Amino acid sequence: MSFPERVLVTAALPLLTLVFPIGLFAQEDRLGGTADVTVAEDQPGTAQAISAQWHEVFASTVRPIFEARCFDCHGPDSHESGLQLHSLNAIRKGGDSGEPAILPADTNRSHMFHLITTSDPNERMPPDGEPLSEGEIAAIESWIKTAPPWKSTLSETSIDHEELDHWSFKPLTSPSVPHSLDAIANTSPDVSLNTTANPIDCFIQLRLAEQGLTHNPIASKRILIRRLYLDLLGIPPTASQVESFENDRSVDAYERLVDSLLANPAYGERWGRYWLDLVRFAETDGYETNRERPNAWPFRDYVIESLNNDKPFDQFLREQLAGDQMGVPVATGYLVAGTRDIVKSPDIVLTKTQRQNELDDMINTTGTAMLGLTLGCARCHNHKFDPVTQSDYYALQAVFTGVQHGERQLPLSNERRQRIEQLKSSIEEVEGRLAGFKSDADSVRPAVVFTKNTETFQPTKARFLKFTVLETTGAEPCIDELEVFANDQNVALATLGTKVESSGNLPGFPIHQLAHINDGKYGNEFSWISNSSGTGWVKLSFPQVVEIDGIAWGRDRNGRYSDRLATKYKIEVSTDHEHWNVIASSDDRLPFGQETPSVKYDFDQLPPAEKAFWEKQLDQLQMLKRQLEELQKTPSVYAGNFSTPEPTFRLFRGDPMAAREQVDPNTVEFLGDLQLDESATDAQRRVSLAEWITDVKNPLTARVIVNRLWQHHFGNGFVPTPSDFGKAGVEPSHPQLLDYLANTLLENKWSLKSIHREILLSATYQQSSEPNANAMEVDSGNKWLWRFAPRRLEAEAIRDSILAVTGVLDSSMGGPGFSAFEVELENVRHYHPKSNYGPDDWRRMIYMTKVRQEQDSVFGIFDCPDGSTTVPARNRSTTPLQSLNLFNSPFMLQQAKILADSLVRETNENLESQIVMAYWRCYSRSPQREEIELAEKFVAEYGLEAFCRAMLNSNEFLFIQ
Amino acid sequence: MSVEQNLKGRFLLERRDFLGHLATGLGGIALSSLFANQGLLGNDQASPIDPVIEPQRPFAARPSHFPARAKRVVVIFCSGACSQLDTFDFKPDLIKRHGQPMPGADSLVTFQGQQGNLTQSPWQFRPRGECGKMVSDLVPRLGDLVDDLCFIHSLKGKTNTHGPGENYMSTGFTLDGFPSMGSWVTYALGTENENLPSFVAIPDPRGTPQSSVNNWGSGFLPAAFQGTDFNSDKPIRNFRRPENLSADRDAATREFLQQLNRRHLQRFPGDSELAARISSYELAAKMQLSIPDVTDLSTENAATLKLYGADDTQNSLKAAYARNCILARRLLEQGVRFVQLFNGAYQTGGEGVSNWDGHKSIKSQYDVHGPVMDGPTAALVQDLKQRGLLEDTLVVWCTEFGRMPTFQAGASGRDHNPEGFTCWLAGAGVKTPFSYGATDEFGYKAVEDIVTVHDFHATILHLLGLDHKRLTYYHNGLRRRLTDVEGEVVKGILA
Minimal Cβ distance to B280: which of A711, A824, A878: A878
DSSP H stretches of helix in A595-656: 608-632
Within an 8 Å CB–CB cutoff, is residue B247 touching chain A? Answer: no
Whether the per-residue pLDDT at A16 is higher than 60: the answer is no
Q: CA angle A556-A559-A561, nearest 5°?
A: 65
Question: Under a CB-based contact definition with an 8 Å cutoff, are residues B190 and B59 in contact?
Answer: yes
Whether the per-residue pLDDT at B160 is higher than 50: the answer is yes
d(CA A512, CA A529): 6
Restricting to B residues 207-226, those with a Cβ less than 8 Å away from any Cβ of A are 207-208, 210-214, 217, 219-226
Nearest-CA distance B167 → chain A (Å) = 9
Sign of CA dihedral A434, A440, A444, A445: negative
Phi, psi of B394 (to 5 degrees): -100, 130
Whether the per-residue pLDDT at B8 is higher than 60: the answer is no
Phi, psi of A409 (to 5 degrees): -80, 140
Average pLDDT over residues B443-472: 97
Contact A878 B270 (CB under 8 A): no
Element (H, E) at A365: helix A348-365
Sign of CA dihedral A731, A737, A740, A741: negative
Residue pairs spanning A and B at CB distance below 8 A:
278
What count of Cα atoms within 13 Å lies in the side-chain half-sphere of residue A676? 28
Within an 8 Å CB–CB cutoff, is residue A318 touching chain B? Answer: no
Candidates B238, B277, B286, B474: best to mutate against A (most CBs of A within 10 A) is: B238
Within an 8 Å CB–CB cutoff, is residue A827 touching chain B? Answer: yes
Confidence of residue A592 (pLDDT cuts 50, 70, 90): confident
**Pick from A634, A454, A628: which is nearest to A554 by CA?**
A454
Q: How many Cβ atoms are within 10 Å of A756's Cβ, its own excluded?
A: 23
Contacts B288 to A, Cβ<8 Å: 884
Q: Determine the pLDDT at residue A442.
A: 57
Average pLDDT over residues B271-277: 86
d(CA A311, CA A267): 13
Within an 8 Å CB–CB cutoff, is residue A780 touching chain B? Answer: yes
Q: How many Cβ atoms are within 10 Å of A231's Cβ, its own excluded?
A: 22
Confidence of residue B447 (pLDDT cuts 50, 70, 90): very high
B31-68 confidence digits (pLDDT tens): 343 333 333 333 445 688 888 888 778 889 999 999 99
pLDDT above 90 as % of chain B: 68
Q: Is the peptide bond before A126 cis (omega within 30 degrees of 0)?
A: yes
User: What is the overall mean pLDDT for chain A?
Assistant: 86
Confidence of residue A598 (pLDDT cuts 50, 70, 90): low
Minimal Cβ distance to A950: which of B260, B270, B346: B260
DSSP H stretches of helix in A150-217: 199-210
**Pick from B433, B432, B437, B326: which is nearest to B376 by CA?**
B326
Whether the per-residue pLDDT at A882 is higher than 80: the answer is yes
Report chain A's terminal Cα–Cα distance, integer Å: 46
Within an 8 Å CB–CB cutoff, is residue B409 touching chain A? Answer: no
Task: State the pairing for strand pair B125-128/B115-118.
Answer: unpaired
Whether the per-residue pLDDT at B22 is higher than 80: the answer is no
**Which one is predicted more confidently, A921 or A829?**
A921
Assembly ipTM = 0.79
Contact B347 A830 (CB under 8 A): yes
pLDDT above 90 as % of chain A: 53
Contact A770 B214 (CB under 8 A): no
Contacts B161 to A, Cβ<8 Å: 287-288, 341, 343, 345, 350
A30-85 confidence digits (pLDDT tens): 333 333 344 444 444 566 677 777 778 888 888 888 888 888 888 777 778 888 88
Determine the distance from the C-alpha atom of residue A488 to the mean position of all C-alpha atoms in its chain, rounded to a whole number.
Answer: 29
**Pick from A449, A484, A479, A502: which is nearest to A555 by CA?**
A479
Contacts B344 to A, Cβ<8 Å: none
Q: Determine the pLDDT at residue A761.
A: 95
d(CA B281, CA B287): 10
Name which of A530-534, A955-959, B197-201, B389-393 the model is least confident about.
A530-534
Question: Under a CB-based contact definition with an 8 Å cutoff, are residues B473 and B221 in contact?
Answer: yes
Sign of CA dihedral B479, B483, B484, B486: negative
Q: What would the DSSP string read from start to end of A397-453? A: HHHHTTEE-SEEEPPPPHHHHHHHHHHHHHHHHHHHHHGGGBS-----BPPP-SS-E
d(CA B216, CA B336): 15
Average pLDDT over residues B468-485: 90
Restricting to A residues 655-714, those with a Cβ less than 8 Å away from any Cβ of B are 711
Q: Determine the pLDDT at residue B326.
A: 97
Restricting to B residues 455-494, those with a Cβ less than 8 Å away from any Cβ of A are 474, 476-478
> Greatest CA span in chain A, whole angstroms?
113
What count of Cα atoms within 13 Å lies in the side-chain half-sphere of residue A292? 16
Sign of CA dihedral B354, B357, B360, B365: positive
Within an 8 Å CB–CB cutoff, is residue B11 touching chain A? Answer: no
Average pLDDT over residues B237-245: 87
User: What is the overall mean pLDDT for chain B?
Assistant: 88
User: Which of A370-379, A891-900, B15-24, B104-113 shows the highest mean pLDDT?
Assistant: A891-900
User: Which of A342-346, B276-280, B423-427 shows the highest mean pLDDT?
Assistant: B423-427
Question: Under a CB-based contact definition with an 8 Å cutoff, are residues B276 and B26 in contact?
Answer: yes
A730-754 confidence digits (pLDDT tens): 899 999 999 999 999 999 999 999 9
Average pLDDT over residues A830-851: 91
Average pLDDT over residues A793-813: 97
Phi, psi of A550 (to 5 degrees): -170, 155
Instruction: Write the CB contacts of A100 (distance below 8 Å, at least 6 apart in sequence).
Output: A91, A92, A93, A94, A110, A111, A660, A661
A229-280 confidence digits (pLDDT tens): 999 999 999 999 999 999 999 999 999 999 999 999 999 999 999 999 999 9
Whether the per-residue pLDDT at A163 is higher than 80: the answer is no
Whether the per-residue pLDDT at A721 is higher than 60: the answer is yes
Whether the per-residue pLDDT at A9 is higher than 50: the answer is no
Minimal Cβ distance to B19: which of A720, A882, A953: A720
Contact A887 B24 (CB under 8 A): no
Contact A878 B162 (CB under 8 A): no
Instruction: Write the CB contacts of A127 (distance below 8 Å, at least 6 apart in sequence).
Output: none
d(CA A254, CA A232): 14
Name which of A673-677, B184-188, B269-273, B406-410 the model is least confident about.
B269-273
Whether the per-residue pLDDT at A29 is higher than 80: the answer is no
By C-alpha distance, the chain A residue nearest B223 is: A863
Confidence of residue A196 (pLDDT cuts 50, 70, 90): low
Question: Under a CB-based contact definition with an 8 Å cutoff, are residues A201 and A218 in contact?
Answer: no
B480 by DSSP, 3-state: which?
A: strand
**Which one is predicted more confidently, A98 or A740?**
A740
A398-411 confidence digits (pLDDT tens): 999 999 999 888 87
Average pLDDT over residues B259-276: 90
**DSSP, res A109:** T
A571 by DSSP, 3-state: which?
A: strand
Average pLDDT over residues B111-120: 89
Q: What would the DSSP string read from start to end of A1-42? A: -B--HHHHH-SSS-SSPPS----TTGGG-TTSS-----B-SS
Within an 8 Å CB–CB cutoff, is residue B135 touching chain A? Answer: no
Candidates B200, B206, B253, B480: best to mutate against A (most CBs of A within 10 A) is: B253
Average pLDDT over residues A912-930: 96
Q: Determine the pLDDT at residue A413.
A: 78
Q: Determine the pLDDT at residue A552.
A: 92
A761-799 burial, b if ≥16 CB within 10 A, otherwise e? bbbbbbbbbbbeeebbeebbbbbbbbbbbbbbbbbbbbb
d(CA A803, CA A56): 77
Restricting to A residues 52-111, those with a Cβ less than 8 Å away from any Cβ of B are 79
Nearest-CA distance B276 → chain A (Å) = 6
Contact B249 A942 (CB under 8 A): yes
Element (H, E) at B439: strand B438-439
What count of Cα atoms within 13 Å lies in the side-chain half-sphere of residue A796? 26
Q: Determine the pLDDT at residue A193.
A: 47
Confidence of residue A952 (pLDDT cuts 50, 70, 90): very high
Q: How many Cβ atoms are within 10 Å of A425's Cβ, its own excluded?
A: 10
Q: What is the pTM of this model?
A: 0.77
**DSSP, res A156:** G
Q: CA angle A917-A919-A923, nearest 5°?
A: 130
**Pick from A314, A360, A316: which is nearest to A334 by CA?**
A316
Contact B20 A956 (CB under 8 A): no
**Which one is predicted more confidently, B94 or A382?**
B94
Minimal Cβ distance to B224: which of A770, A827, A879: A879
Question: Under a CB-based contact definition with an 8 Å cutoff, are residues A479 and A553 in contact?
Answer: yes
Whether the per-residue pLDDT at A23 is higher than 50: the answer is no
Q: Determine the pLDDT at residue A89.
A: 73
Average pLDDT over residues A438-457: 80
d(CA B223, CA B228): 11
Element (H, E) at B10: helix B10-22
A751-773 confidence digits (pLDDT tens): 999 999 999 999 999 999 999 88
By C-alpha distance, the chain B residue nearest A348 is: B109
Q: Determine the pLDDT at residue A451.
A: 87
By C-alpha distance, the chain B residue nearest A771 is: B268
What residues form DSSP beta bridges with A848?
A: A818
Q: Determine the pLDDT at residue B45.
A: 56
Question: Under a CB-based contact definition with an 8 Å cutoff, are residues A51 and A35 in contact?
Answer: no
Contact B224 A877 (CB under 8 A): yes
A774-790 confidence digits (pLDDT tens): 888 888 889 999 999 99
Candidates B213, B257, B262: best to mutate against A (most CBs of A within 10 A) is: B257
**Pick from B420, B453, B459: which is nearest to B172 by CA?**
B453
Minimal Cβ distance to A888: which of B161, B163, B238: B238
Average pLDDT over residues A601-614: 84
Q: What would the DSSP string read from start to end of B312-331? A: -SS-HHHHHHHHHHHHHHHH
**Which one is predicted more confidently, A761 or A729?**
A761
Nearest-CA distance B21 → chain A (Å) = 6
Within an 8 Å CB–CB cutoff, is residue B31 touching chain A? Answer: yes
Residue B287 one-letter amino acid: M
> Greatest CA span in chain B, whole angstroms?
79
**DSSP, res A726:** S
Restricting to B residues 355-394, those with a Cβ less than 8 Å away from any Cβ of A are none
Name which of A15-29, A767-781, B131-145, B467-481 the model is least confident about.
A15-29
**Which one is predicted more confidently, A854 or B149?**
B149
Average pLDDT over residues B291-297: 91
Confidence of residue A160 (pLDDT cuts 50, 70, 90): low
Report chain B's terminal Cα–Cα distance, integer Å: 35
Within an 8 Å CB–CB cutoff, is residue B140 touching chain A? Answer: no
